[in-house]
Amino acid sequence: MTWFADLSPCTYFEENECASGLIAVGWLDRDHDFRRGATSEEFFAKLTELLEHPWQPFFFLGFHSCEICELERPPRGKSNLFVPASGFLYVAPELISHYVSAHRYAPPPEFQEAVLSCPRMRSTEYLEALRANAPKELIEQSALR
């Protein structure tokens, strides 16, 4: 999987010209240290809920596997989570919930706050928050036009 430092521009989608409004969180790998610590049960529950059927403006073939696990068959993910913030979107890989629960990853506090205040996935409020905060190019390329 691609690694990005927390709170750096997420250029994973760079061919779509919207990286400037996408901020990476939780793009971990085994070669880079990451912040560890406790997170609240409320945060983890909301994160898990948002990941049940996340909004996906892009579709990719294939999976990313957890590079931190030393299992023969590590957990895999294929989706990304888009969390509206003030003037941008946080983008996290689906495996972020695994990183929090299995590897004690502690996402940045501002991301945790955004998750806790994020409207229910696919609700009118969530779609309005996307329209208000996502890069214009992302909205133009998705079904949110």
Residue 2 domain-assigned?
no
**Which residue range forms the structural domain that includes residue 70?**
11-141
pLDDT digits (tens, 9 = 90+) for 70-101: 888 888 988 999 999 999 999 999 999 999 99
Does 52 reside within a domain? yes
| Cβ–Cβ < 8 Å for 19, 10 | yes
Taking residues 97-107, report their average pLDDT.
Answer: 97
Cα(16)–Cα(102) distance, rounded to whole angstroms?
32
- Total domains in the chain come to 1
In a domain, 27, yes or no: yes
**DSSP secondary structure string, the chain?**
-----TTSB-GGGGGGS-GGGEEE-----TTS---B----HHHHHHHHHHTSS---SS--SS-EE-SS---SS--EE--EEEEE-SSSEEEEETTHHHHHHHH-B---HHHHHHHHHPPPTTSHHHHHHHHHHS-HHHHHHSTT-
4 in a structural domain: no
pLDDT value of position 139: 75
